[in-house]
């Protein structure tokens, strides 16, 4: 019977990153993945590290409440944070099982000031990218990290690194829940 993983997002990039990470870490297992829509209970554009982590945690928890029959629940939340150097962009990943919870953060990068100004004005980062670069729906494609690195770091790989780090205690337990 496949191991059921609920991803607290309908975003294809987040779903693909979760699939790739679980399959890479546990190649001997078969999985069933499902992307679902659940609330983050934070602002649409989290503006601090704390709010972003809370959003990922809330998504995973809300998915677990709504879909208790699964084996794993994953929350991924992108956010920004202003510091003395400018506006950072990053994401938090939370992975839950019936008995373990862990989290990890992606790498942090700084946004160009023109995009940061749009975000500070109340526009979500994905929409700010679309406005600035003249694109559509970039948050379900390469996102800010892909655009700003000219595709050298795509959004899927960006999330995968954090997902694999969040899976560390699960690899130690070898899915024995």
Is it the case that residue 177 has pLDDT exceeding 60? no
Question: For the chain, what is the mean pLDDT?
Answer: 94
- Report pLDDT for 172: 77
- Report pLDDT for 141: 78
For 51, the domain range is 3-173
Residues ≥6 apart with Cβ < 8 Å to 117: none
What burial class does residue 60 get, using C-beta atoms within 10 Å of its C-beta: 0-12 exposed, 13-18 middle, 19+ buried?
Answer: buried
Residues ≥6 apart with Cβ < 8 Å to 64: 6, 70, 73, 96
* Better-scored residue on pLDDT, 137 or 175: 137
Is it the case that residue 65 has pLDDT exceeding 90? yes
70 annotated ligand binder = yes
Confidence band (pLDDT; 50, 70, 90) for 174? Answer: low
128 annotated ligand binder = no
Q: Quick one: which of 56, 78, 75 has its CA closest to 67?
A: 75
C-alpha 13/C-alpha 61 separation (Å) is: 20
CATH number at residue 146: 3.90.950.10
Q: Lowest-confidence range among 45-49, 115-119, 133-137?
A: 133-137
Q: Lowest-confidence range among 7-21, 74-88, 96-110, 125-139?
A: 125-139
Number of domains in the chain: 1
pTM for the structure as a whole: 0.93
């Amino acid at each position: 019977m496949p191991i059921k993983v609920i991803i607290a997002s309908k975003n294809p990039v987040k779903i693909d990153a979760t699939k790739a990470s679980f399959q890479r870490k546990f190649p001997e297992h078969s999985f069933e993945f499902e992307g679902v829509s659940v609330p983050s209970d934070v602002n649409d554009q989290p503006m601090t590290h704390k709010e972003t982590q809370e959003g990922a945690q809330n998504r995973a928890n809300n998915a677990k409440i709504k879909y208790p029959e699964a084996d794993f629940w994953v929350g991924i939340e992108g956010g920004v944070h202003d510091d003395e150097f400018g506006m950072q962009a990053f994401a938090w990943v939370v992975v839950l099982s019936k008995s373990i919870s862990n989290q990890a953060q992606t790498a942090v990068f700084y946004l160009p000031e023109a995009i940061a100004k749009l975000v500070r004005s109340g526009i979500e980062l994905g929409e700010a990218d679309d406005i600035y670069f003249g694109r559509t729906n970039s948050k379900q494609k390469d996102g800010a990290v892909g655009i700003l690195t000219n595709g050298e770091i795509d959004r899927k790989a960006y999330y995968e690194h954090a997902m694999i780090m969040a899976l560390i205690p699960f690899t130690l337990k070898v899915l024995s829940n």
